[in-house]
Amino acid sequence: MGGPEAPVTRVHGALLEVHQVGILLRGRSGIGKSECALELVSRGHRLVADDVVELAKGEDGRVVGRSPERIRHHMEIRGLGILYIPDLFGPESVAESVAVDLVCELDQWREGSHYDRLGLERTSIDLLGVGIPRLVLPARPGGSMATVVEVGAREHRRRQDGVNAAARLDARLRREMHRP
CATH topology of domain 9-177: Rossmann fold (3.40.50)
Q: In angstroms, rounded to a whole number, what is the distance separating the alpha carbons of residues 125 and 55?
A: 14
- Candidates 51, 62, 122, 159; catalytic one: 51
- Candidates 117, 174, 178, 179; catalytic one: 117
Do the Cβ atoms of 74 and 81 come closer than 8 Å? no
Looking at residue 54, its pLDDT comes to 98
Nearest to 10, CA basis, from 26, 32, 30: 26
117 tagged catalytic: yes
Looking at residue 141, its pLDDT comes to 75
Q: In angstroms, rounded to a whole number, what is the distance separating the alpha carbons of residues 166 and 126?
A: 24
33 tagged catalytic: yes
Q: Could you give the C-alpha distances from 22 to 81, 137, 149, in angstroms and in order? A: 25, 17, 11
Looking at residue 60, its pLDDT comes to 95
Q: In angstroms, rounded to a whole number, what is the distance separating the alpha carbons of residues 28 and 20?
A: 26
Task: Enumerate the domain spans of the chain.
Answer: 9-177
Residue 33, exposed/middle/buried by CB under 10 A (0-12, 13-18, 19+)?
buried
Q: In angstroms, rounded to a whole number, what is the distance separating the alpha carbons of residues 106 and 31?
A: 7
Do the Cβ atoms of 154 and 19 come closer than 8 Å? yes
Under DSSP, is residue 122 helix (H, G, I), strand (E, B) or coil?
coil
pLDDT, block means (10 residues), the chain with 180 residues? 75 98 96 95 98 96 97 96 98 98 92 74 93 94 89 94 81 80
